[in-house]
Structure 1
Amino acid sequence: MVRTVPGTRVTLSRRMMEHLAAYWSRAELETNGILLLHLMGAAAVGLLLGYERTYHGRAAGMRTYALVCVASTLLTAINGFPGSWYGGMAVSPTVSDPTRVIQGLMTGIGFLGAGVIIKDGFTIRGVSTAASIWMTSAIGVIIGIGFYGTALCATALSLAAMTLLGAVEQWLPHQTTLALSIVYRHGLQPSETELRECMRAYGFDVLDWCYEYSEAKRQFHFELVLQAAGHFETAQMARDLSGAEDVVEFRLAPSRA
């Protein structure tokens, strides 16, 4: 039977209390206070950028953006205080490398951004949201390093890009690209030449094709990418397709969003 020396037990308890007290020392509390201010600023930026996405009905909103910005700030900011790690009682001097943390953050945020990109036929959605999530993470890194002025400017530029540039894009000369999906009854589908001429009559050139045939449904499916060649009539096209006897169903949508 092993006996515990009373004096040894008291010494171990005292050392444990000293270790725990080191995490609540004045120096540690000051460091935590600085980190808290960083996190509060990051949360405000994330909520601000996320509200723009929430307002436009996107899946990634205020909570996602706030969490991304706060996490990026936290993982970057703690690298500025290596002497305070583990209650300031590291066995050997700690050398931090924020660039390695930043590299890992950018890689991880890339996977998160890829998750909000959706491809439906020729239509791609979520690219702007993915880019803004990546930018929010970068702003969080800047806040964590301590460049507050740069972070504010980056936030203002990001908000301008997400809110104002959409209207500017519509105002500037540009080409309109649409994705058209048409399902024809078997044997009634038009030829490629006829379909091209039909689309040109509505003001569109056919850029790309995709064919699909269903033997079970006896239907022929066209997937087209259309680009406006001048004045175009999407409303008239929709009315004509809805009234065509050979068309089973159709879908017309922007090819990017």
Structure 2
Amino acid sequence: MIDWDLVWPVAAAMTAGGLIGVERTYHGHPAGFRTHILVCLTSCLLMLAAMHQATWEFLALPGQTVVIDPTRMSHGLLTGIGFLCAGVIFREGFSVHGLTTAASLWVTSAIGVLYGVGMLNLALIGSGATLAVLAVLRLLDAKLPHVGVMDVTLRWKQGAAPSEAALRDMLRARGLRAVRIGHVMSPDCLIHEHLLKVKGPMPIDADALVAELCGREGLAGFSVLPRDE
């Protein structure tokens, strides 16, 4: 006999997780379609198990009263999901990537919990709000004036590396600002690397910066990587 009171929360959780995962997959993020489905499904299954503890096959000790507290399961879920979220956050140079994907996994787990405890209305509202933030607000965010960030690596030949002040002046001429400058030297001191975190108003004219760097004497190589979550 199929217990539809257990089927519909599972189906709804998988649907919600899948829709959120589709948005992440479409934009090429590491935790995508299947990951979000599994996160939401797991949260829902464990909360359903906690909510139906009366059907568990265990015997209480004689004279003991069993107190059912499903909230302890939700606490454990939302704490444990933090380990999975940490796996999609990584640092590259001065930039941190994956924060939005980690947040989407966290909220997906919360949505699964809501389906598991039977709060259908709140779960649907949460699913819709999450999709709106990830998909709809992405379009709005693209139209809002904001500051762009680039990771710039400059590899100079021995003795050719300019001072930090000269680097800042070069970027300032392009409407850019270096908020951090790091230095890396090769073991033989033949190559001096500048690692820069550069900010500027969007859209950043990376082509102009690349063209200028191509003409710099003493530059052994460089990379200009716009950062996008």
TM-score, scaled relative to structure 2: 0.91
Instruction: Output the CA distance in 2 between the equivalents of 1:76 and 1:179.
Output: 43
| Counterpart in the other structure of 2:27 | 56
Contact 1:186 1:220 in 2 (8 A): yes
User: Aligned partners of 1:60 and 1:100: how far apart in 2?
Assistant: 26
SS at structure 2 position matched to 1:101: helix
- Distance in 2 of aligned mates of 1:39 and 1:187: 64
1:225–1:255 CA contact under 8 A, matched in 2: no
User: Paired residue for 1:97, among 69, 78, 103?
Assistant: 69
The one-letter code sitting in structure 1 at the alignment partner of 2:59 is A
1:238 matched residue in structure 2: 210
Specify the code of the residue in structure 2 equivalent to 1:243.
G
Cα RMSD for the two superposed structures: 1.9
Q: Compared with structure 1, are the counterparts of its residues 232 and 112 closer, same or farther at alpha carbon in structure 2 (3 Å cutoff)?
A: closer
Q: Which amino acid aligns with 1:59?
A: P
Identify which of 17, 42, 53 aligns with 2:13: 42
Partners in 2 of 1:38 and 1:44 — Cα distance? 10
Other-structure match for 1:222: 194
Residue correspondence of structure 1 range 1-257 to structure 2 within 5 A: 29=1, 32-86=3-57, 90-91=59-60, 94-216=66-188, 218-228=190-200, 233-257=205-229
**In the alignment, is the contact (CA less than 8 A) between 2:148 and 2:203 conserved in 1?**
no
Deviations 1:15-65 (A, max 9, x none): xxxxxxxxxxxxxx56x5422222111111111111111111222111111
TM-score by length of 1: 0.82
Q: Give 1:61's aligned amino acid.
A: G
The structure that has the greater radius of gyration is: 1
Once the two structures are overlaid, the 10-residue window that deviates more, 227-236 or 212-221, is 227-236
Residue identity opposite 1:177 in structure 2: V
Query: Counterparts of 2:201 and 2:147 in 1: how far apart (Å)?
Result: 8
Counterpart secondary structure, 1:176:
strand
CA contact (8 A) 1:122 1:179 kept: yes
In 2, distance between residues paired with 1:190 and 1:37? Answer: 65
8 Å CA contact 1:177–1:225 kept in 2: the answer is yes
Gaps of 5+ in 1: 1-28
Quote the residue 1:19 is aligned against. none
For the 8 Å contact 1:72–1:138, the answer to whether it is kept is yes
**Structure 2 unaligned spans of 5+:** none
> How far apart, in 1, do the equivalents of 2:203 and 2:117 lie?
51
Percent sequence identity is 35
More displaced 10-residue stretch of structure 1: 106-115 or 159-168: 159-168
* One-letter amino acid matched to 1:115: G
Comparing both structures, which one devotes a greater share of its residues to helix? Answer: 1
SS of residue matched to 2:16: helix
Larger relative contact order (Cα-Cα within 8 Å, sequence gap ≥ 6): 2
Cα separation, 2, equivalents of 1:251 and 1:152? 44
Q: For residue 17 of structure 1, what is the aligned residue in structure 2?
A: none
